[in-house]
Amino acid sequence: MAKKIIITDSVDKKAVQILEQNGFEVNYQPGMKKEDILSIIHEYSGLIVRSDTKVTADIIDKMENMEVIGRAGAGVDNINAEAATRKGIIVMNTPGGNTITTAEHAFTLMLSMCRYIAQADASVKAGKWDRKSFKGTEVFGKTLGIFGLGRIGREVALRAKAFGMNVVGYDPVLSNDAALAFGITLMSIESVFEYSDIITLHVPLDDKTRNLVRKETLAKCKKGVKVINCSRGGIVNEDDLVEALNSGQVSAAALDVFLKEPPDFSHPLFSHPKVITTPHLGASTDEAQEKVAIQIAEQMVEYFTISEIKGAVNASSIVSFSNKKLTPYVKLAEKLGSLGAQMSKEKVKEIRVHLHGELLQESNGLLATATIKGFLSSLTQDTVNLVNAPYLAKELGLIHSEIKSAASPEYANKLSVECVGTASTRSFAGTIFGNNEIRIVQVDEFQLEMLPEGNMIFYTNIDKPGMLASVSKILAEEGINIAGLSLGRLGQGKEALTVISLDTEVPAETMLKIAAVPGIKNTAQVKI
């Protein structure tokens, strides 16, 4: 009997053709209401959506035969992946399907911004012939600074080189050799701001990138720098950008994304004569929508016909189903990878995963892949899962390996991760206690026991009375509640590591206050 697939959003009909040609029964019902979905979803083995259908936990609860939910696009915010995982349903997306389209949109905005295309068009349509007001700037010979050199950032770089631009960039993962292959000179964050004539953003929105472009960083730029954001709202501080535009520090800006969408159109950005805006159109082309429709249909065909899983965002639970004892170590590996990404002060070029103990010998690359997934997920805008993590690491020039050895003296099974940089190596280790309780038991040379979850701050200090009290006082004054505390020390009067778990994120200003306490060093904020 043919597998039944239902499509509830306006996905390109080539998806229907591919599925039907491979013997599937397809029900194409774009715009289907939730109550109608609930009444029939139990009949289907596959579901394809875009962004309109909200695949909620109650819909998933009604899925009696469902094996795969496919998203024709990159994000899966409209799918309750946790509920699907609990029910053993694969959630797939189409990473990379929108790469070219978004890169082209960013480049289109750059050219339009440099030549005042939108403003000149509005002027002519208003019956004016005002050539003097729209004298533009060539991109040839200019330096383009790219923050984020994933798929989209690298495609923008290729187009910039074709236009005769110099390209510099910052990426926390991409190796120098991989960057040079695209004609990109890697620099520090500060240097990219300093040397760029035009800046374009292609990074995820997280604690490290929020307000990346703000008053302080714009002040480091050349007078008259131009700014493009086709990434995420919130990476550019919109108020600071307006101030810089008014002062002339920024000569023009082009924005496709905003802090709030739809935005507050009374904000001065939307009436500023030096700003071009578009309504989040990065992925909105016929070609991109056709591409993701074909991709998700082909992924679904491969899954049902040859059991090959591609683009699975909840692959960790699926892969580890075969060995339930290994499942908590997969989660531990992801947390260690994330910790390494957030704690390493320099670019990491290699990740070594040490497997201590008999159980972990069964990994066959799974735990290294899970570590890479956790590491890259904290650093890149690209969707990272257990299927594509090794590929992304190779593409970025990030070396990774598994090293198997006997049990450690302290624990029957211990997972250790080394993040090797150019000048230093950070190491982290963890194990599983009791009923699948994940614990970090080592950070560099410090032995401790901590739960890797939520908001945490790390710092080192000389082990003497009053250090913790000083930090606690600062947190208390800011109204930040301490949820837990872990300590590791090398000996009385020697260096110690403190890890404080908190109920909320710590503002950057508060972290600076903590770092300024005499005797405290190596402060870092981590969220897992």
Q: Which residues are identified as catalytic?
A: 232, 261, 280
Q: How far is CA 389 from the centre of its chain?
A: 13
For residue 70, which of 58, 62, 78 has the smallest C-alpha distance? 78
DSSP E strand boundaries for 302-406: 348-356, 399-405
The continuous run of DSSP H or E covering 460 comes out as strand 455-462
Place of tokens 């998700």: 296
SS3 for 213? Answer: strand
Query: One-letter amino acid identity for 524?
Result: A
Measure Cα distances from 482 to 229, 454, 456, 491, 509 in Å.
36, 12, 9, 25, 18
Q: Which residues sit opposite 201 in a β-bridge? A: 147, 229
- Burial letters for 438-464: b for 16+ Cβ neighbours within 10 Å, e otherwise? bbbbbbeebebebbbeebbbbbbbebe
∠ CA 147-148-152, nearest 5°, is 115
- By the 10 Å C-beta count (0-12 exposed, 13-18 middle, 19+ buried), 478 is classed as middle
Residue 262, preceding peptide bond in cis (omega within 30° of 0): yes
d(CA 454, CA 460): 20
How far is it, in rounded angstroms, from Cα 113 to Cα 468?
51
Specify the length of the chain in residues.
528
- Those residues whose C-beta lies under 8 Å from the C-beta of residue 337, and which sit 6 or more positions away, are 351, 370, 371, 372, 373, 374, 375, 376, 377, 378, 417
Quick one: how many helices (H) and strands (E) in the chain?
18, 22
Q: How far apart are CA 87 and CA 260, in angstroms?
A: 34
Closest alpha carbon to 282 in 39, 71, 468, 107? 107
Query: Taking CA 377 as the corner, what is the angle to CA 254 and CA 256, rounded to the nearest 5 degrees?
Result: 15
Distance CA 460, CA 513 (A): 15
Inter-residue contact 260 to 233 (CB < 8 Å) = yes
Contact 228, 198 (CB under 8 A): yes
Contact 491, 463 (CB under 8 A): yes
Give the angle 13-15-19 at the CA atoms, nearest 5°: 125
